[in-house]
Chain A
Amino acid sequence: MNLIADLFLTFSKIGLFTFGGGYAMLSLIDDSCVSKKQWITHDEMMNITVIAESTPGPIAINCATYVGYKQKGLIGAVAATAGIVLPSFCIIFLISMFLDRFLEIAWVAHAFRGIKIAVGILIVDAAVRMIQKMKRKPVEITMMILACILMLIINVFSFRISSFILVLAAAVISLAYFFIRQYLEKAGSER
Chain B
Amino acid sequence: MIYLELLVGFLQVGLFSFGGAYAAIPLIRDVVLSYGWIDDEMLSYMIAVSESTPGSIMVNLATYIGSSKAGFFGALIATSAVVFPAFVIVLLLTGLLSKLLKQPAVKAVLDGLKPCIIGIILATGCYMILENCMGRITDISVNYLVIILTAVLALLYFGSRKILKKGISPIGLIGISALIGIVVYAGV
Is the Cβ of B85 less than 8 Å from the Cβ of A151?
no
Contact of B44 among A54, A112, A144 (CB under 8 A): A112
8 Å CB contact of A92 from B44, B67, B91, B146: B67
1/0 contact string of B92-124 vs chain A (CB within 8 Å): 011000000000110011111111111111111
Name the distance in Å between B137's Cβ and chain A's nearest Cβ. Answer: 6
**B contact residues around A85 at 8 Å (CB):** 55-56, 59, 79, 83
Q: Which residues of B contact A (CB under 8 A)?
A: 12, 14-23, 25-27, 30-31, 34, 40-42, 44-45, 47-60, 63-64, 67-68, 72, 75, 79, 82-83, 85-87, 89-91, 93-94, 104-105, 108-130, 132, 136-137, 146, 149-150, 153-154, 157-158, 169-171, 173-174, 176-182, 184-186
Chain A residues whose CB sits within 8 angstroms of the CB of B59 once the complex forms? 58, 60-61, 85, 88-89
Nearest first, the 5 A-B pairs at minimum CB distance are: A114-B181, A174-B112, A57-B86, A88-B55, A147-B119
Contact present for B182 and A167 (CB under 8 Å): no
Most-contacted residue by chain B among A18, A100, A163 (CB, 10 A)? A163
Task: Indicate if the CB atoms of A93 and B115 lie closer than 8 Å.
Answer: no
Q: Which residues of A line the B interface, CB within 8 A?
A: 15-23, 25, 51, 53-62, 65-66, 69-70, 74, 77, 81, 84-85, 87-89, 91-93, 95-97, 99-100, 103, 106-107, 110-131, 134-135, 140-141, 143-152, 155-158, 160, 162-164, 166-167, 169-171, 173-175, 177-179, 182
Pair B153/A58 contact, Cβ less than 8 Å: no
User: Are A55 and B89 also in contact (CB < 8 A) when A92-B49, A96-B67 are?
Assistant: yes
**Bound-state Cα–Cα, A97 to B64, Å:** 9
Q: Do B34 and A160 touch across chains, with their CB atoms under 8 A apart?
A: yes
List, in ascending order, chain B residues with CB within 8 A of A111's CB.
Answer: 178-179, 181-182
* Contacts A88-B53, A117-B150, A167-B113 known; 7 new A-B pairs at CB < 8 A: A19-B171, A21-B170, A60-B55, A114-B184, A127-B122, A151-B124, A163-B120
How many angstroms from the CA of A128 to the CA of B160 in the assembled complex?
16
Q: Is the CB of B64 within 8 A of A92?
A: yes
Cβ-defined partner of A16 (8 Å) among B22, B54, B112, B178:
B54
Contacts of B109 in A (CB 8 A): 171, 174-175, 178
Residue in chain A with minimal CB distance to B89:
A55
Tell me whether A92 and B132 are in contact in the complex, defined as CB-CB below 8 angstroms, given that A58-B86, A61-B59, A148-B119 are known contacts.
no
Judged by DSSP, the binding face of A is helix
Are A144 and B182 closer than 8 Å at their CB atoms?
Answer: no
- The residue of chain A having its C-beta at the shortest distance from the C-beta of B21 within the complex is A21
Cβ–Cβ contact A149 & B19, under 8 A:
no
Contact in complex: A114, B179 (CB < 8 Å): yes
Partner of A146, one of B89, B119, B127: B119
Docked complex Cα distance between A122 and B112 (Å): 24
B93 and A58: CB pair below 8 A?
no
Closest beta carbon of chain B to A44's beta carbon, Å: 11
Give chain A nearest CB distance to B117 CB in angstroms.
Answer: 7
Verify B181–A61 contact, CB threshold 8 A: no
Q: List 12 A-B contacts (CB under 8 A).
A: A22-B56, A53-B19, A56-B85, A60-B59, A69-B91, A114-B178, A115-B177, A122-B125, A125-B125, A148-B120, A150-B119, A160-B34
Closest residue of chain A to B69, judged by CB? A96
Across the interface, which residues of B come within 8 angstroms of A55, CB to CB? 18, 86, 89-90, 93
* Cross-chain contact of B48 among A18, A115, A123, A164 (Cβ < 8 A): A115
Contacting pair A18 B113 (CB below 8 A):
no
A26 to B50, CA, bound (A): 18
